[in-house]
Amino acid sequence: MVTVYLNDSKLEIEEGKTILEASEKAGIDIPTICYHEKLTPPGLCRQCVVEVEGARVLLPACITKVRDGMKVQTDSDRVIRARRTILEMLSGSTDLTAAPELKEQMVQYGADADRFKDTRERTYPVKDDNPFYMRDYSKCILCERCVQVCSSDIQFSYALTTTGRGYKNKVSTFYDKKLPETSCVFCGNCVAVCPTGALIASNEYNLKSEGAE
């Protein structure tokens, strides 16, 4: 066991646990985006950053292990500013209209959706290449949950991957093939873990397009 201090509250926790797990045990809310409890934390989005005494930069709680005597601030001004800016940057580049959790976080952190309104928005045509689900990558925040669930975390199909760099970074199939031409088995796990509605069952997409609730 190690002793950690979360916002000055003392907590005993097993060695090897992350700050995020420690905060859950202490009942302290740390927001996440790319993290999913059933998947290997990729530490990509940085929304769960916290301030650790002695560290020069903010650290992602989902992949940072606790150590004995660690002192962590989960909601300092610096942390809140970082989270707010991440949400504002996502909002400036991506369609978040079907991402309720992110919209809640925008409200919680007072994020200004228009702060980066002059950013070039990442837009792509909706991919409709199979009977089961649609891929609307204009809504994709590149959390990579779908890639992980499709590969060694759950399904071992390896139908999805990431491609491109920087602004052109996106989720795709290998060689951008249509899904029925890939190793996809249409298990639906990627749709289940997508936090933004970028992956959506075709019937649900069609109902929404027709204006149904």
**13 neighbors 4 (Cβ within 8 angstroms):** yes
Closer to ligand SF4 by CB, 52 or 199: give it.
199
Q: Least separation, in Å, of the C-beta of 174 and ligand SF4?
A: 15
Applying CB under 6 A, among 144, 172, 189, 205 the residue interacting with ligand SF4 is 144
- Decide: is 146 part of the binding site for ligand SF4 (CB under 6 A): yes
- Decide: is 62 part of the binding site for ligand SF4 (CB under 6 A): no
Tokens representing 111? 């994020």
- Decide: is 145 part of the binding site for ligand SF4 (CB under 6 A): yes
Quote the Cα angle for 198-148-72, to 5°: 95
Amino acid in position 9: S
- Decide: is 171 part of the binding site for ligand SF4 (CB under 6 A): yes
C-alpha 107 chain-centroid distance:
17
Query: What's the DSSP call for residue 179?
Result: G
Tokens representing 157? 């199909």
Query: With CB under 6 A, what is the number of residues at the site for ligand SF4?
Result: 14
Q: Least separation, in Å, of the C-beta of 66 and ligand SF4?
A: 27
Q: Least separation, in Å, of the C-beta of 67 and ligand SF4?
A: 31
- 97, HSE (Cβ side, Cα atoms, 13 Å): 5
Applying CB under 6 A, among 48, 141, 159, 184 the residue interacting with ligand SF4 is 141
Applying CB under 6 A, among 90, 111, 184, 198 the residue interacting with ligand SF4 is 198
SS3 181: helix
**99 neighbors 47 (Cβ within 8 angstroms):** no
SS3 content of the chain, % helix, strand, coil (to 5): 30, 15, 55
Applying CB under 6 A, among 6, 19, 199, 200 the residue interacting with ligand SF4 is 199
- 12, HSE (Cβ side, Cα atoms, 13 Å): 1
Q: Least separation, in Å, of the C-beta of 191 and ligand SF4?
A: 9
Q: Least separation, in Å, of the C-beta of 1 and ligand SF4?
A: 35
- Decide: is 196 part of the binding site for ligand SF4 (CB under 6 A): yes
Under the rule (CB under 6 A), what is the footprint of ligand SF4?
Answer: 140-146, 171, 193-196, 198-199
